[in-house]
Structure 1
């Protein structure tokens, strides 16, 4: 089996429908991709209560991350008068695409960035899986078991040694 051309395998752009128009987000440079990955990792560490590398965050603060991840679509969106929430959602969706993949970006986009809409709730998961399993689990079949001590063994332990 031979390797296929990488361009045919990777999603090189991300089409995002915003306020009646579709903006195409081009794949970022390796530098932007690495920076976005570092930011996503830092955010995950911070969300878990860990200590974040301040250098990663200060580097991101110095640069316009949204402009970098959206590329030319950023200026198009601004010139078209796209609302701030729409631009922000598009940029964060692009960051998800860069850090993960197109499927994760689509889930994020369609959930409008709401974490509670990203993962289905417990009731929805159960209804899709057909409900709780009512079959009792089978006991061990290893052939070993723990039995209570017999009366004879109990008496042996109770006798004083001679």
Structure 2
């Protein structure tokens, strides 16, 4: 398996975390590429460790630096090819009538805006048999004015 390099992360943010040193830092992929060239990602951690001022080494066995790349839960799921239960049910064609009373809908636009959706008014407007996947293309974002939203399902807290 080919190791990833910095050229794979150009234009993206690269996050690192060290729980021993209480470090959570974000780097720009383009800036790192300009500074370090097309370095391999595992080897780059040693250089980033020195950049952040860690006095531990990435080599050796004892008192070793524990700096690693940081991924949010959503990023980790996307990289591993997993989807959430809600996304799976929406992809299967879950309808408004299939939702339980404790299910809460939120619309999430690609621009980052997120807001609650009223299930009863969606059912009145589009009918109870409307599929959630079809409704995604009918949601207009109030901020960017695009029809590019995703519906998330969550449960009310107990």
Name the TM-score, length of structure 1 as normaliser.
0.18
Q: Give the structure with the higher percent strand.
A: 2
Whose Rg is larger? 1
Q: Give the structure with the higher percent helix.
A: 1
